[in-house]
Amino acid sequence: MPRRSYHHGNLREALVQAALGLIASKGPAGFTFAEAARSAGVSPAAPYRHFRDRDALLADVAHQGFERFEAFLATAWNDGRPDVRTAFSNLGKAYLAFARTEPAYYSAMFEAGISTAEHPELRKASDHAFAIVRTASEALCASLPRESRPPALMMALHVWATSHGIASLFARGDTSRRSLPMTPEDLLEAAMLIYLQGLGLDSAAS
């Protein structure tokens, strides 16, 4: 690819897009900083204008991914409309849809091994996405009598873990997806039904 001149700010996005392409073809650990530069059509030294190293580039990719993910979840939750139970179900479907439609971002977010201690802005973006799941869990828990409500944070963590496991194994849009005798959405719906019944939420917010 011929080298190009970039206006200020364009180089950063070009490198992010190059990294996404490399993640899609090689995984988050399968390419070097120099390969990202070559894929973007710039010199090996050019990325250092914006990124300290390869991990910093991956952190930026993951940060953008979490922002997109937050938007996916927020749209699905829709402030609990048309009702809390339906919106909660839509939230799970959105989790699977993101893994299916944005596999490179998904991989950068959850499989690149980027330290959130070194990149606190990445942790903040992740927390914003998780906050939507926690809000949904709090809304469901609020439908139960106060004395029998489960801890909303615990519920949110369980829901996140279950959704993430099904998304990672069965719903992602790359070659690591495994086959199922049902749709990932049906599997997640069944898992959530069993889980919510165990918490006494099977008829809540319906």
What does pTM read for this prediction? 0.88
Q: Is the pLDDT of residue 175 over 80?
A: no
Q: What is the pLDDT of residue 202?
A: 65
Supply the mean pLDDT for the chain.
90
- DSSP assignment of the chain, as one string? -------TTHHHHHHHHHHHHHHHHH-TTS--HHHHHHHHTS-TTGGGGT-SSHHHHHHHHHHHHHHHHHHHHHHHHGGG-S-HHHHHHHHHHHHHHHHHH-HHHHHHHHHS---TTT-HHHHHHHHHHHHHHHHHHHHHHTTS-GGGPPPHHHHHHHHHHHHHHHIIIII-SSTTPPP-SS-HHHHHHHHHHHHHHHTT-TTTT-
Report pLDDT digits (tens) over 4-54. Answer: 444 445 899 999 999 999 999 999 999 999 999 999 999 999 999 999 999
Report pLDDT digits (tens) over 79-91. Answer: 999 999 999 999 9
Going along the chain from its start, the domains and CATH numbers come out as 1-51 (1.10.10), 59-198 (1.10.357.10)
